[in-house]
Each structure stands twice: as C-alpha cells, then as structure tokens.
Amino acid sequence: MRRCIVLAVAVAALAACDAADRPEGTVERWLVSLNQGAAGRPDRFAAEALSDELLPGWDEREPGDLDLIEVGRAVPTQDGDRVPFRIVTTEGEVIRGWATTQDGTVVAVERPEDPSEIRVPSDGGARPPGAGGGAWLLAIALGVVVAALAFAVVGVIDRRATRRSPA
C-alpha cells in the first residue's frame, strides 16, 4: 500500500512537471516587453519589424502605456502555434490579433478585419494550460507530508527539550 502511494505521488509529480516552452508565454513576454518601451528589448522575442507592425513607435512609448495584456490558448498549425491576444492602451484603444510562434520566437502577427473572431479568456475563449489533475493531487500529498514532517520535527525537539529542561 505504501509503495502504491509513493508511486502515485511520483507519477503525479512527473505529470505536474510537464515543462516546455509555451507559445502563450512567449507571446505574453513579447507584449510585456513592448509595454516597457526600448528598455523592454522586445527583439528578444520577435523581429523589430513585427514589433513596429503591432505598435508603431513602440520604442518611444511611455512604459506602462498598455493597460491590459491578455493571451489565450495557442492553436497548433502547420506554420507554428497561433496565440490569440488582446491589448488595451491607457487611452482605451483595443488591439486584437493572432501571434504565431516557432521555437520560442514570434514570427508573424495577424490582425483580422473582424476582431470578434479573436477570443481570449475574458471573452470566454480557452485559457492557456495550467496545472493538471496530477499537480493538485501532488499539492495535497505534499501538504500532508510537509505538515507531518513539521509536526514530527517539533515533536522530537519538544521531547528532548522537556527532558533537558530544569524541573
């Protein structure tokens, strides 16, 4: 029984640690870096031409000019992963589009004529992937283990201290 529990925790841990370069994260970092003006160095995530295409004069904008940056779940295509996004400037201008990524770099941006076809989570679109069921099980198991360990450590110290403490 004990082995089964250990195995289940290990499987849950492996399932939880499915780390990879997520296209949603790449697009989000690109947009966040654009929001920091020249200091953000968006060239780390996309060619300068793409940054200019999305936000002309981005290097001269005030940092924090974008009031909202939101990305949705990526859709795999032949050309790469297409990530829906929505940004809102402090003046209220809303920009929606798709950003396509390949190998951790944004390679294309599309701004459809009908912006309503872009659905990010706040519009009811799919959210970028997060913790799987395994991660939740692992957290509960970890909570039990951490609590038991803390309990045991203080218990041992308490017993030793009681023995040494003057009556």
Partner 1 sequence: MTAPRADADGSPDRGTRYRRKLLVLLSSATFFEGYDNFVLAFVLALVLGDLGGSESDAGWIRAVTLLGAIPAFLLSAQADRIGRKRLLLITILGYTIAAALTAGAPNLAWLTGSQFLAQVFLGAEWAVAITIVVEEFPRRHRGRALGIVTSMNTLGGIFVGVLAFAGLASTPLGWRAFYVVALLPLILIAIGRRGLRETERFEAVRDDARSARLDHTSLLEPWRPEFRTAVLAVGLVTFFRFFGVSAGAFWWAYYAQQEVGMSVSTSGLYLAAAGLVGAAGFIVGGRLMDRIGRKRAFLLYLAGALVFGTWTFQVTDELLMLPVLCAGIFFSLGSVAMTSAFSTEPFPTYVRSRASAWCRNAFEIPGGVLGALVVGSLGDHVDGPVGSIGDAMSLVTIATLPAAMLVAWRFVPETNGEDMVAMDEGAVAQEARA
Binding site for partner 1 (CB under 8 A): 16-22, 24-26, 28-29, 36, 39, 63-64, 67-70, 86, 88, 104, 120-122, 127-131, 135-136, 138-140, 142-144, 146-147, 149-151, 153-155, 157-158, 160-162, 164-167
- Distance between alpha carbon 137 and the CA centroid of its chain, in Å? 20
Cβ closest to partner 1, residue 22 vs residue 109:
22
- In this complex, which beta carbon is closest to partner 1, that of residue 6 or of residue 147? 147
* Angle at CA of residue 77, ends 109 and 84, nearest 5°: 45
Residue 166 CB, shortest distance to partner 1, in Å, is: 5
Q: Where are the beta strands (DSSP E) in 14-146?
A: 66-71, 75-77, 80-89, 94-102, 105-110
CB of 143 to partner 1, least distance (A): 4
- Using alpha carbons, list the distances in angstroms from residue 156 to 152, 153, 163, 166: 6, 5, 11, 18
Q: How many CB atoms lie within 10 A of CB 40?
A: 21
Residue with smaller CB distance to partner 1, 16 or 47: 16
Q: CB nearer to partner 1: give 7 or 94.
A: 94
